[in-house]
Chains A and B, each alone.
Chain A
Amino acid sequence: MDKIIKGKAFVLGDNIDTDQIIPAEHLVYSLSDPEESKKYGQFALSGVPLAKSGLPEGGIPFIGLNNFESIFDIIIGGVNFGCGSSREHAPFALQKAGIKAVIAESYARIFYRNSVDGGFLIPYESFGRICDKIKTFDVLEIDLQKNILKNLSTDIKYNLKPLGNVLPIIEQGGIFEYARKSGMIL
């Protein structure tokens, strides 16, 4: 696991559901084929209404037309991030688009589990609401050892909630590696 994650912020609001993260019509593509699975990056967050895409101004597409990766690295969200369906395609799509971490006020259970157990991205929880304090394009730095988010564009620091008992799974990169290391499976 990296000790520092640094990159550009893409800011969203509350209740970003899995249909907004990856609309259901795209769930038909292979996740294991390296070429075909790029489409998940291409369509990541394509269900977010444009006015609410890239806050506070909105109107900022997460991914440029016909691109497979985003220029953004860290997503900032409000409450109940990833609510809705159980599709693991959601954190997978964000990872394919180049997202390393999401920092939200709270998560829906299945999205959180999928992010951790599949090793797709790090789902950090903020103390209180930061999605109306950070702007899209701000440059952020997450210190994964101290659980601190630093907004390099404003020089303001935010404490993040420690990852707690899922940290060992995140450190191993997912539930399979964790289970192998701990001798649960061969």
Chain B
Amino acid sequence: MGMTITEKILAKSAGKNKVMPGENVWLNVDVLMTHDVCGPPTFAIWKKEFGKKAKIWDKDKLVIFPDHYIFTKNIHANRNVELLREFAKEHQIENYYDVGTDRYKGVCHVALAEEGYNIPGTVLFGTDSHTCTSGAFGMFATGVGNTDAAFILGTGKIWEKVPESMKFTFHGKLPEYLTAKDLILQILGDITTDGATYRAMEFDGEAVYDLSMEERMTLTNMAIEAGGMNGIIAADEVTRAYVKQRNDQPYETFQSDSDAKYFKTYEYNVEEIQPLVAKPHSPDNRDNVKNVEGTALTKCYIGSCTGGKITDFRNAGKILFGRKVQVPTFIVPASTATAQQLEAEMINGATLKQIFDDAGCKIAESSCAACLGGPDDTFGRAVDKDVVISTTNRNFPGRMGSKKSEVYLASPLTVAASAITGVITDPRNFL
């Protein structure tokens, strides 16, 4: 019997010829990523547990991005960034991207891709559930807690149970009114928030391989919203071209065997999918935009590792060009590179940044910002009974701030269309 791409990568990392779902294996980790929320407690556990012998297993494989609570007056949050800074200095961590310097990158999952840490066939762990984003590069990537991360930091190893795989194949040509966000919301509605718990979610089909790396990352990013251990898309020429610009190390690519075994397979024709939202208060509470059209909004939000990439802003810019927003609309580029692209890329002679400025949007510096609520002074945070439509990934109660708020998740096209009218609006009205 053949193996899936996830099984092949885990077998290689465990030094085995073959692994079976359900088997516990010890993996050799290629990259460990952490940030300002989970870095300081991870380092504290590492120091406590390894004591005087504490040694980082491989300094070149540790990557630290401050990104969560950056532009705030909160003293505890600022202390966490200071702790990262001290750790990086004390241990001479080259892959530290300090805020307030030219090296600052913004949201870790997008920065990992941009800085060349995502390499097909490798194994990446991060102290963040959306670490699964990196799976868009045909690699195994998943999130862990501080204790597991501290263990990796000292040993370079971690145990995992080999997951069963689920396969999602998208056929057809993606219509202009849909984005990868609609595709993943379609899956979430079908399998629910625990439909892939402890499983690999493999994405396939010509509609997936037609997507840019950024859009592929939107699919794998939200694998965790179905409980998935990892999301994965086998590397192709698009992947190789993206990686080649950023890293020249040799790598091995893997593909699932034709006789690989899956827990379940799903087939979709993208031409039959409608623009979708996830209604409050769960990412699997899917509905057609048409069915909630007219819902009054108090805020619109375009940002995060899920919906703040350059492709998301191109989509939003297409609709916002020459129009005005009716409700406060917050733009947060996921990375500083994305922010620079907003000033360079043009639609009909206007840069994306000009389009958003002219439409009346508020634009912030790159960070996780209000995707996860954060301190009171966080840009775009939901307050009181806000009703928000957002390109982010989660809409659990209180996720974007106030416990009384309601959050709808949608594509950047749908959020931009809704910003213009002030009520939830089908993007086809503006395309």
Contacts and interface: CB of A to CB of B under 8 A. Distances in A.
Verify that A and B bind, or say they do not: yes
A47 B375 CA distance: 15
What size tier do the contact residues of chain A reach?
35 or more
Given A24-B373, A114-B147, A185-B155, A83 B403 contact: no
Interface stretch (A66-74, A126-134, A152-160, A171-179): A171-179
16 contacts: A15-B396, A20-B397, A25-B376, A28-B69, A28-B79, A31-B44, A83-B194, A87-B37, A109-B197, A114-B148, A117-B147, A118-B145, A175-B148, A175-B151, A176-B151, A185-B50
What size tier do the contact residues of chain B reach?
35 or more
A36 to B, nearest CB: 8
Given A28-B80, A174-B147, A184-B155, A108 B372 contact: no
Contacts of A48: 397
B399 interface: yes
A186 B52 CA distance: 11
Contact of B193 (A24, A27, A83, A179): A83
Nearest to A52: B397
A110 B142 CA distance: 9
A80 interface: yes
Contact of B151 (A20, A24, A179): A179
A114 B37 CA distance: 16
A106 interface: yes
Interface of B: 24, 37-38, 40-41, 44, 48-50, 53, 68-69, 74, 76-77, 79-80, 126-129, 131, 143-148, 151, 154-155, 159, 193-194, 197-198, 227, 229, 282, 372-376, 394, 396-399, 401, 403
B41 A31 contact: yes
Contacts of B282: 15
A88 B44 contact: no
A32 interface: yes
A49 interface: yes
Contacts of B74: 28
B372 A186 contact: no
A23 interface: yes
Contacts of B146: 31, 88, 114, 118
Contact of B403 (A49, A106, A113): A49
A85 B151 contact: no
Contacts of A174: 147
A19 B372 contact: yes
A65 B83 CA distance: 31
Contacts of A114: 144-148
Given A83-B227, A88-B38, A19 B144 contact: no
A32 B48 contact: yes
Interface in A1-54: 15, 17, 19-20, 23-25, 27-32, 47-49
B403 A47 contact: yes
Contacts of A98: none
A33 to B, nearest CB: 9
B398 A47 contact: yes
A19 B41 contact: no
A24 B148 contact: no
Nearest to A88: B145
A175 to B, nearest CB: 6
Contacts of A27: 37, 68
A31 to B, nearest CB: 4
A87 B128 CA distance: 7
A176 B49 contact: yes
B33 to A, nearest CB: 11
A138 B131 CA distance: 39
A92 to B, nearest CB: 9
A27 B374 CA distance: 9
Given A27-B37, A28-B79, A165-B24, 18 more contacts: A19-B372, A19-B396, A24-B373, A24-B374, A25-B373, A25-B374, A28-B74, A28-B77, A31-B44, A49-B397, A86-B145, A87-B38, A88-B145, A108-B227, A113-B144, A118-B145, A179-B155, A185-B154
A162 interface: no
B244 to A, nearest CB: 31
B398 A20 contact: yes
Given A49-B403, A83-B227, A106-B194, A113 B80 contact: no
Contacts of A61: none
Given A110-B144, A186-B53, A85 B197 contact: no
Contacts of A85: 128-129, 372
Contacts of B80: 28
A106 B197 contact: yes
Interface in A99-130: 106-110, 113-114, 117-118
